[in-house]
Amino acid sequence: MHDDHSDDHDHNHDHDNHYSDMQARVKALETLLTEKGLIDPDAIDAIVETYETKVGPRNGAHVVAKAWSDPDFADWLRRDATAAISSLGYTGRQGEHMRAVFNTVDTHNLVVCTLCSCYPWSVLGLPPVWYKAPAYRSRAVIDPRGVLAEFGLTLPADKKIRVWDSTAELRYLVIPERPKGTECMDETALAGLVSRDAMIGTAVAGSPEALS
């Protein structure tokens, strides 16, 4: 975990910014099938986009909405996020060990994996391209406030930013602050205010007005 300017820590797994052998084989196979007209790259991109931004993040949005509306669940999430998330049926590879970090009036949380792209697939789906980019992985630690501004999120100067560095052993889920004016909304409606980026920390939850 880092504050605004903390040092990186070691991960216990290998890292490589280039294609792994398996990735290279998949890329070669995709190219071959495309050349033979057996697959449509645009269709594949659409499927990836769906899982990256819609299907997967809905799991995490459910977790956040339940935490907002159920104090007992929120407390459980703070104490043992892995068990609390599993109770909703969201388990699997890349999300076995979880920690939930809660945004507050005083503190905003941001998640990164500085040396790789460790990401909680079970609650957020596929990682976005920018999350895996070396520029984000380095600058999120060095200049988190500047990175957030580039995402369109300008925080008050007195709000602390805590940067959490994911590893192969532990993944993080940001619980954004509950927006004002949502007291009468149920969990389903609340989940509609929660984006993938808000659960990484590069955005905040949407307002009820934006949802309508």
- Alpha-carbon gap, residue 37 to 43, rounded angstroms: 12
Q: Is there a binding annotation on residue 6?
A: no
Compute the CA torsion angle 106, 200, 98, 80 (nearest 10 deg).
30
- Alpha-carbon gap, residue 179 to 192, rounded angstroms: 12
Q: Is there a binding annotation on residue 117?
A: yes
Q: CB–CB of 109/176 below 8 Å?
A: no
Q: How far apart, in Å, do the first and last CA atoms of the chain sit?
A: 37
- Which residues, including other chains, have CB under 8 Å from residue 53's CB and lie 6 or more apart? 125, 128, 196
Report the DSSP pairing between strands 171-175 and 160-165. unpaired
- Please, what is the Cα angle at 189 between 118 and 124, to 5 degrees? 10
Which positions are catalytic? Answer: 113, 116-118
Classify residue 118 by burial, with Cβ atoms within 10 Å: 0-12, 13-18, 19+. buried
Q: Is there a binding annotation on residue 116?
A: yes
Known binding-site positions for Fe(3+): 113, 116-118
